[in-house]
Amino acid sequence: MSQKTKNLFKIILPLLLGVFLIWYSLSKVSVDKLLVYARNADYTWIVFGMFLGLLSHMSRAYRWRFMLTPMGYHIKYGNSFMAVFAAYLINYTIPRAGEVARASLLANYEDVPFEKGFGTIVAERIADMVVMLGIMTITLFLQFDFIYGFLIEKLNVTNIILLIVVGVVLFIVAAFFISRSHSKIALKIKSFVGGLIEGVLSIFKMKNKWAYIFHTLFIWGMYVLMFYVTTFAIKELGVVSPGAILVGFISASFSIAATNGGIGSYPLAVFAAFSLFGIPEEPSIAYGWIMWASQTLVIIVCGGLSLLYLPIYNRISKK
């Protein structure tokens, strides 16, 4: 298979999956019912959630500058902010193309070499991955009894112990062979793990490391908080427990990588998580659509305006 065909599949498959998941979610809750939920929603909480999402994106734009300053590039916050939103918007069309566009915009308007700008974005993703793993660990710790009880209900104790033992053995064996292998897959895995460790350690070597860490935690804190406060907009959800919020947030976060911007997959991911806690199907899916639509609206408006205003802003700045 040629590289061109592979790239085409990378674009088409997420779109097709998104279309299928939209159809599947609407087969569970009709458009008419979703519109009823949308009309009856408390928009005070939805707008508040959108505001928290905006704060997280603004913080991400500010955090980016901490990575570039040690390299001698003091970029304007306006360019950083608009490049971040433009990247989010572009990711809705071609998966991961936004990161390339973001580094390209910085190269065009701030004369930051593409490879250096892109390198800082990769480092950002590593920092975000570490925080996400932290959230998952905290969720596992807080919901250990629930998760353990759920596994006991679905599997017997012997099977659970066997799965753990097999998993640990497979991990040790895989790590042993990968560390000694020179195959392309093994080299890619070693490169990824090495880059992950190097990226994390580089944060602690930064001049403004504590500010960078603060903004990283702030970004993800706003993500979780916007997910939480928006649940108040749908009265049929009732009081959603912290455990359901965390599990739902993790599930929804992974769904964004499955399709372009989480289209179609986001509501179903929320429903799948909330159903574990006995939350009804219809309000869960309705909440997922409202949550996704409200944050997507922020990205479309801010991203679209950013793409339009970027050249104007930089012409004015040069004058």
pLDDT at position 201 over 80: no
Q: Which residue has the higher pLDDT, 301 or 120?
A: 301
Residue 288 lies in a domain: yes
Residue 178 lies in a domain: yes
pLDDT at position 7 over 80: no
The rounded radius of gyration (Å) of the Cα atoms in the chain is 21
Residue 115 lies in a domain: yes
pLDDT at position 148 over 70: no
Chain mean pLDDT for the chain = 83
pLDDT at position 54 over 90: yes
Q: What is the pLDDT of residue 228?
A: 95
pLDDT at position 199 over 60: no
pLDDT digits (tens, 9 = 90+) for 159-189: 666 777 777 777 787 777 777 777 777 777 7
pLDDT at position 94 over 90: no
CA distance linking residue 30 with residue 288, whole number of Å? 14
Q: What is the pLDDT of residue 215?
A: 94
Residue 15 lies in a domain: no
Query: How many domains are there within the chain?
Result: 1
Domain span at residue 57 reads: 30-318
* pTM of the shown model: 0.82
pLDDT digits (tens, 9 = 90+) for 55-89: 999 999 999 988 888 778 888 999 999 999 999 99
